[in-house]
A and B are shown apart, each in its own frame.
Chain A
Amino acid sequence: GAVVSQHPSRVICKSGTSVKIECRSLDFQATTMFWYRQFPKKSLMLMATSNEGSKATYEQGVEKDKFLINHASLTLSTLTVTSAHPEDSSFYICSASGGQGHYYEQYFGPGTRLTVT
């Protein structure tokens, strides 16, 4: 149990376009989902926390209008990178809590590599 999927796994887009990344908890209902960004050879940096049916809470320095998060159900959250630019290229990882174990243990998706040309 506690499997999280992400789609797509890789995406290449042109500068100025928008990209949507989906995060799904496959075998549990996720009370909370988290979105992280990871630069090469660096640790994970939390971008935002979202609870189903409510607005996401963004970390300091993360532009909420650029990184739109929707958490429409207990098994699905989406991150939309709007008007993407090359500096948005990164590895985006979601996680979900509410699975087996303690309620706050986070289970991670496989990540989405975004390349903006």
Chain B
Amino acid sequence: GQQLNQSPQSMFIQEGEDVSMNCTSSSIFNTWLWYKQEPGEGPVLLIALYKAGELTSNGRLTAQFGITRKDSFLNISASIPSDVGIYFCAGLLSNFGNEKLTFGTGTRLTIIP
């Protein structure tokens, strides 16, 4: 199936650094979701974006819905050890009765001690 392109694929950063990752698509979506997955667990919803241009924060996380509706980015400020995990974007073109998510390829975040 279709996947969204996420970059970077992996990041190695030091604690306290800011993180930026993005997600791009060849087709438009009208909802973007960002999830975090830890090893052996299911993804956990971090931020949901519903309108083009929308900028939303959740604590140290900030995400934006691109104006073209084909991209989104996620920023994490002042990273801490518990930020380690894989971050997935997901796009949704919500048609009633067909609410399938298209997932990104993931960004693996590692914090170097």
Contact = CB atoms under 8 A, between A and B. Distances in A.
A104 B40 contact: no
B80 interface: no
B48 A111 contact: no
A1 interface: no
A113 B105 CA distance: 20
11 contacts: A43-B104, A44-B103, A46-B1, A59-B1, A97-B99, A104-B99, A106-B45, A106-B101, A107-B45, A108-B42, A108-B44
A110 B42 contact: yes
A45 B38 CA distance: 17
Given A108-B35, A111-B42, 5 more contacts: A4-B42, A42-B106, A43-B104, A91-B40, A106-B99
B3 interface: yes
A42 B1 CA distance: 13
Contacts of B88: 43-44
Contacts of B92: 104
Size class of A's contact patch?
Answer: 20 to 34
Nearest to B41: A110
A108 B46 CA distance: 12
Contact of B42 (A49, A97, A109): A109
B87 to A, nearest CB: 11
A28 to B, nearest CB: 14
B94 interface: yes
A36 to B, nearest CB: 8
B105 to A, nearest CB: 5
Contact of A102 (B1, B31, B40, B42): B31
Interface in A31-54: 32, 34, 41-46, 49
A34 to B, nearest CB: 8
A106 B3 CA distance: 17
Contacts of B94: 104
Interface in A71-117: 91, 93, 95, 97, 101-111, 113
Given A43-B105, A104-B31, A49 B48 contact: no
